[in-house]
Amino acid sequence: MKIIPAIDIFNGRCVRLLKGDYAKVSEYNQCPIDQVKIFKNAGFNYIHIIDLNAAKSGENENLEIIKEICKLDNINIQVGGGIRTIKKINNLFAFGVDRVIVGTAAIIDEKFKEDIKNYIDLNKVIYGLDFKTKNNIPFLAVNGWTENTSIKLFDYINMSPWIKNILATDISVDGTLLGPNINIYKKILKDKKINLIASGGIGSIDDIYKLKQISANECVVGKAIYENKILLEDLKNAN
């Protein structure tokens, strides 16, 4: 299983949100580029980066930081947050981004959804499907997790058979360190053609091994690193 350390950028700084709440921000490093170097020195050369400002507003407020990260030697990144046009996808690829994460627009904008399918290499596209569970049914959320939809997670997946990569995040456990939603991930993994990137709730090295046991393809780890719940050395050894 590929393990990817996470950096969320908000107002130019490295932060984490609690359950996607922009009012509950914890800052961990004033310089995201320095944080990338910390991960690189620990043996990680693939980093997950989310522009939280862009996720909420659609604006490119942290784009210059992302450009600078792309210039670092032997670092590959996947980037999400506010990616709502084909032009922005192509610009990010031009800067050196390896994979893009699309969410809101790919869920609510049918034209954008079709354009991705028709014009972009789908191996390079990750569908960020963030969900909240109601009556044991996962529903998608959009616009930086600030708006709930009536779209069921598995209805969306079933109606989009061309999807290759899914970043599935349970908002209710994200940032809580209480453990990932194993049951949802097991259900997604029944579709063998999907590359699942598990995200949200990982709080211990045991959680990593639980994801490996269900054959999750990749996982994103954030707050557990910053809160020293998982040491980078242990994370590297589990990779």
Please give the pLDDT value at position 22.
Answer: 83
Catalytic residue list contains 130? yes
Tell me what the mean pLDDT of segment 156-162 comes to.
95
pLDDT at 98 over 80: yes
> Hey, what are 228's tokens?
């020293």
Cα 161 from Cα 155, distance rounded (Å): 11
Cα–chain center distance at 236: 19
Average pLDDT over all residues of the chain: 94
pLDDT at 20 over 80: no
- Please give the helix or strand (H or E) that residue 86 lies within, else none: helix 86-95
Name the band, by pLDDT with cuts 50, 70 and 90, for residue 100: very high
pLDDT at 160 over 90: yes
Per the residue annotation, which of 8, 51, 170, 174 is the catalytic one?
8
Tell me what the mean pLDDT of segment 38-54 comes to.
96
Please give the pLDDT value at position 186.
Answer: 97
Name the band, by pLDDT with cuts 50, 70 and 90, for residue 152: very high
Query: 2-232 has which fold?
Result: TIM Barrel (3.20.20)
pLDDT tens digit sequence for 61-77: 899 999 999 999 999 99
Please give the pLDDT value at position 19.
Answer: 77
Per the residue annotation, which of 21, 73, 130, 170 is the catalytic one?
130
- Please give the helix or strand (H or E) that residue 208 lies within, else none: helix 205-213
Catalytic residue list contains 21? no
pLDDT tens digit sequence for 184-234: 999 999 999 999 999 999 999 999 999 999 999 999 999 999 999 999 999
Cα 183 from Cα 180, distance rounded (Å): 9
What percent of the chain has pLDDT above 90? 84
